[in-house]
Amino acid sequence: MRSPWHAYEAQVQRAVMGEEKAQDYAQKKAQNIRSYLTEQHKDFYVHLPLLYVSVLDSTGHPVALVLTGEPGFVHSLSDTAASIQPMQTLNPDLFASGSQIGILGLESHTRRRNRLNGTVQSLDPSTNTLTLAVRQAFGNCPKYIANRKLQLKITDPRHLLWPDYIGNFFFQTLGNLAANGQAGLLFIDYSDGSVLHVKGHAKLDMHDTSLPGAQRAVKMTIEAWHCTPQRLPLEQVGPTDASPYNPKSGQTAADQRFVSCKSIEQVAEGIKSFTFHYPERIAGARQPFDYLSGQYASFDFQLEGKDHNRTWTISSHPDESRETQSFTISVKKAGLISSWLHDNLKPGSVIEWRGALGDFTPIAGDKPVLLVAGGIGITPMRSFLITFSKERRPVTLLYSVRAAREAAFLDELHGIAESSGGKAKVVVNVTGKDDTWHGPKGRLNAEHISEQVPNLKDHSDVYMCGPQPFMNGVESTLTSLGFPQGSIHSESFSF
């Protein structure tokens, strides 16, 4: 597989993570960047009322733009092509055939963010319609998306300084700045639609942590700017809400939420389920949350004098949570924080909770679906299986573990299948040596999948979760069996 990272992105990754870790990370995360649009991404873009776009002007300088239109003004033509027909008249000098284009789609009320890099195929002036070929499509870290107070520091009238927080370590923006320091910034006042364009040169400082929460910073020298009052035909609806993932600097009690541990259960070897009461209201904090199957919860910890943020998929089902006013995460004991949870958390313990997010959620429909889980990747699939079973939708779960003792929720999963009237099927296979296991053994290869899912071509979607090498192998097998890549959805924590 060709690497999606250019030399300067790889350079920043190495500078932050070190040679060995950066190389391993780049290989694992390459699968997250696809050369086509998934069905989820197609559905995402078609509902947007605005789109952020970056192109190059005639001097090679980046220009940041925002395009608007009725939902549907952006839509896919195929897995590898898209069309944009905005309200704004497109400049043919900026959108010439063959030119590169970078696109950011942001669904502000859910904080979902997806990116698309491509090449302009054509611009039809008569209809103001742009068509483009997709080169890269991927989800992006949603942590700091919000109407939050912008931590942008004006060091003097000619310079801006902004922080780089902990994210997904792709470093595409910083890699581009390392390759070419020319930069264009776009500022939008969403209260009245005013737009400010700033042009200049930017430089990454790997050692500047002067701004709260910053891992590094970017300093920009301003060369030109242009402000257009009330430029966008947009109206903000409803209240604003800061991202729950913002750095803690300046955080007040009203910004904090806490959850108390209700119960702890050992659900498999090395895996515990932690159930928490719904978050307490602290000095005007928001109301208790709701979530969708497949979303994850985020928590803050302070250990060894350092702040840590961790996310885990919510393994309980939303209906269960509404009834019990609690939610559950199932955690494998692996790293510093997960080990601390396993060893120290007790019923009654209180920890800081940041929120629930994620777009790895079920797509509506009535056709059969396939769920594939590897190891701890079963956590979202438990909730998915319940969702599809409640909808009386045909669903098959293929659950792969190294040993039977490492399989979580086994009795419950089989119980769901048995009570589904034949609509749900659960197949567990063990990949390692386990004399106690008398069911299917070996990896999920084409033969195994074809045997357990003979009508694969009739399925609308496949949902996968597990270690990246596992998902890479399953996706490769599915595509070799003729299943469309655009209908394969995988969970990956990007931060």
Residuewise pLDDT in 10s, the chain (495 residues): 578 888 888 888 888 888 888 888 788 777 778 899 988 889 899 999 999 999 999 998 999 999 999 999 999 999 999 999 999 999 999 999 999 999 999 887 777 889 999 999 999 999 999 999 999 998 875 554 444 344 556 667 899 998 887 777 788 888 889 888 999 999 988 888 889 999 999 999 998 888 877 888 999 999 999 998 877 876 666 555 555 555 555 454 445 678 999 999 999 999 999 999 987 654 344 455 689 999 999 898 888 777 788 899 999 999 999 999 999 999 999 989 999 999 999 999 999 988 888 888 998 899 999 999 999 999 999 999 999 999 999 999 999 999 999 999 999 999 999 999 999 999 999 999 988 898 899 999 999 999 999 999 999 999 999 998 899 899 999 999 999 988 899 886 544
Q: pTM above the 0.85 mark?
A: no
Whether the domain at 33-139 and the domain at 253-357 fall into the same CATH topology: no
Whole-number Å distance between alpha carbons of 47 and 72: 6
CATH no. of 369-490: 3.40.50.80
Q: Right CATH number for 33-139 from 3.40.190.10, 2.40.37.10, 3.40.190.80, 2.30.110.10?
A: 2.30.110.10
Element (H, E) at 274: strand 271-277
Q: Where are the domains of the chain?
A: 33-139, 253-357, 369-490
- The H-or-E segment that residue 412 falls in is helix 410-418
Query: pLDDT digits over 355-384, tens only?
Result: 888 888 998 899 999 999 999 999 999 999
Cβ–Cβ < 8 Å for 350, 331: no
Radius of gyration of the chain (CA): 24
Residue type, position 191, single letter: S
Distance in angstroms between the alpha carbons of the first and the last residue of the chain: 23
Range 176-179 contact pairs with CB under 8 angstroms and sequence separation of 24 or more: 176/8, 176/9, 177/202, 177/203, 177/204, 177/218, 178/8, 178/11, 178/12, 178/204, 179/6, 179/7, 179/8
Structure tokens at 237: 């609806």
Token pair in block for residue 149:
């107070």
Q: Which CATH number fits domain 253-357: 2.40.30.10, 3.40.50.720, 1.10.3720.10, 3.40.50.12780?
A: 2.40.30.10
Rounded to 5 degrees, φ, ψ at 372 are -130, 120
The enclosing H or E element of 12 equals helix 7-17
